[in-house]
Amino acid sequence: MTEPGARDDHSLAAELAGTAGRLLLGVRDETGFADARALKDTGDLRAHEYLMAALAERCPGDAVLSEEGRSSVAGKRSLGDDRAPTRNTADAERLTASRVWIVDPLDGTREFSEEGRRDWAVHVALWERDASGAGRLAAGAVALPAQGLTLRTDAVGGASLVRTDLADPDPVTAGRGPAGAPPPREVPLHVPAPEGEKLRIAVSRTRPPEFVRRLAEAIEPEVELVPIGSAGAKISAVLLGEVDAYVHAGGQYEWDSAAPAAVALGAGAHASRIDGSPLRYNREDPRLPDILVCHPMSASTLLTGIREVSGALP
């Protein structure tokens, strides 16, 4: 339990992800959907600048690795703002830091720019060095602004689902409480076990990997592939019971999975590389190209199937 007066990194991650999400909803209203590129760039950079400023103020001694703070994207400009985006902490400093925030200000820019789509997210994760000198994900939050939800870790090693719009039905507690009683704003989050005869696997809606199609043919039970937008939305769908697993290979970075992996582990899910090895963060090369998230009872089946179709891996 968090000591009185101590900084609660879990609550801070959720607060920052939720606030950046509300900012992005405002960008959608302000910019509209006629120019997708302008909407994507404006959303990316405004959410990035908000998170960089908030972390500098709230955690001034911590390092930051943001997708939009890389030198490769530093030439982007938000509409009406000619300032260069705030750069990430220099690699030499980040790699020796004891605390590093790994953030994706807007995960799923394609879906963000399409009117009516709800499968995009904001990721805020904290990596912390441990006594051995290695490190681990210490906190994380995934905001799904268009769904009015935030999934977050907590101070006792678990995870919670926070409903940010009390006017919407609660997907977890709807129908379970006393008649007329408002549902709780925050409830514990536990990855649900698969039900039924099909295993539902989330895949990219634009680039479904061929090896996942082969995996679906190689394993029992029957598999249904479910296209969903951002990585954060896919992993959240596993934790909310909308699908049973997320399998990906072929190109991701640490910011794509750090926050959702932290929440998934807190919710009791299996989260690993597709060869079963642990996910490692805050490395010199931030590429982390593959991931498997599922209920623990499905992990052995999926890992065995992935090994059988490894020749089809991208």
* Feature table: binding site for Mg(2+): 67, 104, 106-107, 256
| Residue ranges of the binding site | 67, 104, 106-107, 256
Q: Read off φ and ψ for residue 80, nearest 5 degrees.
A: 75, 10
Give per-residue burial for 256-284: e unless 16+ CB within 10 Å, then b: bbbbbbbbbbbbbbbbbbbeeeebebbee
Composition of the chain by helix, strand, coil, percent to 5: 35, 25, 40
The two tokens of residue 268 are 């009791």
Asked whether the beta carbons of 122 and 22 are under 8 A apart, the reply is no
* DSSP annotation of 41: H
Cα 78 to Cα 74: distance, rounded to the nearest angstrom: 11
β-strand 63-66 against 99-107: which pairing, if any? parallel
Provide the residue type at 210 as one letter.
E
Asked whether the beta carbons of 133 and 51 are under 8 A apart, the reply is no
